Structure 1
Amino acid sequence: MNDLDFDNAQQFSKVLEAVLLAAAKPLSIERIAELFDENTRPSASQIKAGLEQLANDIGQRSYQLKEVASGFRLQVRSEYATWVARLWEERPQRYSRAMLETLALIAYRQPITRGEIEDVRGVAVSTQIIKTLLEREWIRVVGYKDVPGKPAMLATTKVFLDYFNLRGLNELPNLSALKELQSASDELAAPVTTMPAQAGISVEPDQPEHSAEQVSFSSLLAELDSMEHDLTTDFNDPAIIAENDVDGTAGTETKLQTEPKG
């Protein structure tokens, strides 16, 4: 297709669909542009128009175009995840109450130290929990607090946002709405799964996008809510830091209003 017309959204969307199907991770607008010759690259507006056309074209298909923190990807719609999940033999990951509480506190109060997490939870945080979250690349150390001992400050990452289908921290569910959420057991067993690559494209089976345990952050919080009704959630988030690996831009400060748990 040497005569590709980037202004022809219908034609360009087919190329974008092929690229996203073969990609093992989300692609940003900038990364998509780099796939074309330097002298004949599409503009950001042309790429966005092509993506919009693609989203419309597959509106009735079993997979959808999803924008997350790192870019765009094609993934199976959640209503079909029950069957798709059976492609993987391992059981869906079950998250401990301690890990759920720790992850929720980091997400909503970041940057936060381990000691501050322990103050809220009222118990010590296992080193293994922090290690696991770091290994999953869901959290990272963003600095050290200027107090005796210089404790590390923890915050979430783009990998965390991508995994839970979030474009930014502002899309985190409202904690005050947790009481209205149903038990997450069914959703944990029926994850959202990313579209696998087409034949001839080598993709590692253990890529995060293909994990059979992928769930929404809402479901994790709902499960936490069902396990522990006395968790303190009436806190403020004084300094949410938006993850940005390119320029390190800090996010807008946000104050979370929550209702006490009954």
Structure 2
Amino acid sequence: MSSEAPTPLHLISAALLAAGRPVRLKELTELTHLSEDGVIRVMSEVGRRFGELGLAVERVAGGYRLYVPPELGAQLAPLLAPPPLPPLSHAALEVLAVIAYRQPVTRAEIEAMRGGSASTLVTLQERELVRVTGRSDAVGQPLLYGTTQKFLLEFGLGSLDELPPLEGSDFAELLRS
């Protein structure tokens, strides 16, 4: 763009691209200092130009928005999918197993069962596999942890009842496997 003042066409195009939401007609009139009819005329040209580039403008939710037409959306899906997360560490899987089988459970109980730190709780919470379910009645009222719906989805379980049965009540076998 040159050093000249941006035209209403430029302002509206940039607003639609940058906003990431429908931009109300009133906002566009304030931005461009045009009347509503003037903005609507410019919007027609914006729609035509974006259409030549494979994009579309629509009036929706009380404003105008720029969007990718569905026929292009399917081809863009691989670009829009979030990158895969790295696999969970062995320690994280151990903590997750303790929570899944013994929930609700405190951090201290997890560490006692594992014989080591439960520092991976943060990672498991960030991935929305575990959540705080309440507080224990124990001294200090430590947080209680349990699994989430996403845990069930990620591991292909309909419910916690579908977890494989443990041999005995000791986690040693589970944590070794």
Higher relative contact order (CA 8 A, sep 6+): 1
Point out the structure with the larger strand share: 2
Point out the structure with the larger helix share: 2
* TM superposition score category, shorter chain reference: 0.3 to 0.5
Q: TM-score normalised to the size of structure 2? A: 0.47
Considering only CA atoms, is the larger Rg found in Structure 1 or Structure 2? 2
